[in-house]
């Protein structure tokens, strides 16, 4: 028995592969961040567009020559198309975040995911925009079936750096958002913000402090796609 187990180990058949974050990062199936020696950070904004805050965020980004990636919700693209057009015109990246901000679990109908992604694509194509290449699942929920479906539809799944979840959707206070980002900033971060937080401009006010400070530290603010093109000079480390 021991000899058989040893043989299986040597042949790589010692049981199921542990499918943790390291597994998905190594295969390039999900991106949380991009290890790089370059001082680049990707700012991402979920759930918009939303008139009270998206325009104000764009104003701040323009002031500090920052580019960002907006993970848009299709039904809001339909209602606020002018904001999406502005995002593109100002050099930002548009990514898919489903049509209705639907949460998907293991028991969810895969065909519904397909519909949610396609309906958002259709709204963007109606604005004569290219099909996005990046997808972020609402809530960060994912499973094997979703990963396969998303890849088959031509998308890369993007999440965010675990240490850069600002939780701005909870309205935790401007100081909390600022400290969360500045105290943990490092090369290759993907920072999670939201431009749809009804009744709150905390994200906007926090950006007015975050961007000048990070720029002073020498960081450049790039889209997720540009960040992913950075050479991986630093190896991916297991998160175990």
Q: Residue 70 pairs with which residues in a beta bridge?
A: 45, 94
Q: Are the beta carbons of 120 and 158 closer than 8 angstroms?
A: no
CA-CA distances (angstroms) from residue 60 to 36, 55, 155, 176?
26, 9, 29, 19
Q: Are the beta carbons of 74 and 123 closer than 8 angstroms?
A: yes
Name the token pair of 135: 């997808």
Eight-class DSSP state of 197: -
Catalytic (active-site) positions:
46, 194
Residue 182 exposed, middle or buried by CB count within 10 Å (0-12, 13-18, 19+): middle
Q: Residue 194 pairs with which residues in a beta bridge?
A: 46
Interacting residues of 173 by C-beta distance below 8 A, sequence separation 6+ = 202
Q: Are the beta carbons of 134 and 156 closer than 8 angstroms?
A: yes
């Amino acid at each position: 028995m021991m000899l058989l187990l040893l043989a299986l180990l040597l042949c790589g058949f010692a049981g199921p592969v542990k499918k943790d974050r390291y597994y998905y990062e190594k295969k390039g199936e999900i991106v949380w961040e991009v290890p790089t020696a370059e001082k680049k950070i990707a700012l991402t904004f979920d759930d918009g567009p939303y008139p009270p805050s998206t325009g104000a965020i764009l104003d701040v980004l323009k002031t500090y020559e920052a580019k960002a990636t907006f993970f848009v919700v299709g039904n809001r693209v339909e209602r606020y198309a002018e904001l999406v057009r502005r995002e593109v015109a100002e050099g930002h990246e548009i990514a898919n975040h489903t049509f209705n901000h639907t949460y998907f679990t293991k028991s969810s109908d895969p065909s519904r995911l397909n519909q949610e992604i396609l309906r958002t694509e259709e709204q963007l194509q109606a604005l004569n925009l290219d099909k996005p290449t990046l997808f972020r699942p609402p809530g960060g929920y994912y499973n094997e079936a979703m990963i396969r479906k998303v890849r088959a539809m031509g998308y890369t799944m993007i999440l965010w750096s675990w240490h850069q979840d600002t939780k701005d959707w909870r309205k935790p206070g401007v100081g909390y958002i600022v400290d969360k980002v500045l105290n943990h900033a490092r090369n290759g971060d993907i920072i999670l913000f939201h431009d749809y937080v009804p009744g709150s401009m905390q994200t906007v006010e926090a950006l007015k402090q975050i961007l000048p400070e990070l720029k002073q530290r020498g960081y450049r603010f790039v889209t997720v796609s540009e960040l992913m093109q950075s050479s991986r000079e630093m190896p991916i480390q297991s998160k175990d």
